[in-house]
Amino acid sequence: MPATPASTRSATHSRPARQQSDGPPHASAAAPPWSGPGFEQLRAQDPQIADALLGESARQADGLQLIAAENFTSPAVLAALGSPLANKYAEGYPGARHHGGCELVDFAERTAVERARALFGAEHANVQPHSGSSAVLAAYAALLRPGDSVLAMALPHGGHLTHGSAANFSGRWFDFTGYGVDPDSGLLDYEAIRELAVRHRPKAIVCGSISYPRHIDYAAFREIADEVGAYLIADAAHPIGLVAGGVAPNPVPYADVVCATTHKVLRGPRGGMILCGADLAERIDRAVFPFTQGGAQMHTVAAKAVAFGEAATPAFAAYAQRVTANARALAEALEAAGLPVTTGGTDTHLITADTAPLGLDARTARGRLAAAGIVLDTCALPGPVDAATRRTGIRLGTAAVSTQGMGEAEMTRIGALIGAALREDGTARERTAELVRHFPPYPPHA
């Protein structure tokens, strides 16, 4: 792919003034619902959709958003998403498009690619995947053929749908074997994974999870993959933002291919990307286009470039540090509230906890928390893989609340709020509203 024509770390690509701090400033009252360019025209033309937009904006501001995969993008990212680049068809790659008039979107994509390469130390980056699942699909298409054997984390232990679910293309096209975590510690057992790899001799090994709260030992996975002659694919959708901020191990030096999302902790637009060595660059690019996707979404590609530029700043590094510090504090607060945390804590933004000691199944717990304005997910917990005895708990993350400027003191309050809401304390909703009132996602001056 041709090189970008200009440096991606120049002052002209710096963040807006508000983003120079490591989080949005506090406000004494909740900000009015966000409304972007053209909103008044939308409200006049289509009030039903305008009301849905306003309602969702208010919902995000009025509660605690603790879904581990969600975050608040910067106004600059939102501006790129809502730009005229959404109008441009750009099948292909910079300098080799199937449509004319692509000179400026070519620059935007080259900029995104070069920023991603610099941020993660990768020889090649493809920023076109529409989602993390699209990125994984392209990685499999580049390296595997239908029927090949793949070793990945078992879904009941925290694997993603693309790691072998029978309802997903992965489980239908490839022969997956699942590895898990130790049922007592909740930690990955690398020797057990090695034994599975030696027994099954997979064509590829996938390391990554949607609910594993500890750092992954990519070097150990690399050794296992080399021993059995397998490709190593890192699905780093969750930790990639922490990697950018320097607080999590980087899979790029170890994995043949790294798949990731550009939202979550990375705080960019919803989308995916793939990082790899120069030796696999052409195979990866052809697997994305034309094999699995058509035209790139150029407004999203430009928004990815903005997010990569933001993630390269000291402010983002400070943010990533706060995310992990907040997660540790929240894990301690959950334990104090009577909710055991798996693995005894977390290294990342992500926490999983057991609601059974409070006499609640995970779905009931999620419903009680939603009623209190606390939004999070359920997840599988380490234990039996049999569906009849499978354990579930709650999964939550600190990326979004950290973007809002909350710190460890607020995490202690949130842990207590979660405990109160699960015990049906009638004051929980009011206490949630009082907390978030001081931390609007988009302050009025943003």
Order of strands across the sheet that contains 257-261: 124-126, 272-276, 257-261, 231-235, 204-207, 149-153, 175-179
CB of 23 within 8 A of CB of 403? yes
3-state SS record for the chain: CCCCCCCCCCHHHCCCHHHHCCCCCCCCCCCCCCCCCCHHHHHHHCHHHHHHHHHHHHHHHHCEECCCCCCCCCHHHHHHHCCHHHHCCCCEECCEECCCCCHHHHHHHHHHHHHHHHHHCCCEEECCCCCHHHHHHHHHHHHCCCCCEEEEECHHHCCCHHHCCCCCHHHHHCEEEEECECCCCCCECHHHHHHHHHHHCCCEEEECCCCCCCCCCHHHHHHHHHHHCCEEEEECCCCHHHHHCCCCCCCCCCCCEEEEECCHHHCCCCCEEEEECHHHHHHHHHHHHHHHCCCCCHHHHHHHHHHHHHHCCHHHHHHHHHHHHHHHHHHHHHHHCCCCEHHHCCCCCEEEECCHHHCCCHHHHHHHHHHCCEECEEEECCCCCCCCCCCEEEEEECHHHHHCCCCHHHHHHHHHHHHHHHCCCCCHHHHHHHHHCCCCCCCCCC
CA neighbor of 283 nearest in space, from 296, 294, 272, 274? 274
- Please list the active-site residues: 89, 91, 235, 261, 264, 270
Q: In angstroms, rounded to a whole number, what is the distance separating the alpha carbons of residues 50 and 44?
A: 9
Alpha carbon distances (Å) from 186 to 154, 158, 225:
13, 11, 22
Q: What is the largest CA-CA distance in the chain?
A: 64
Contacts of 17 (CB under 8 A, 6+ apart): none
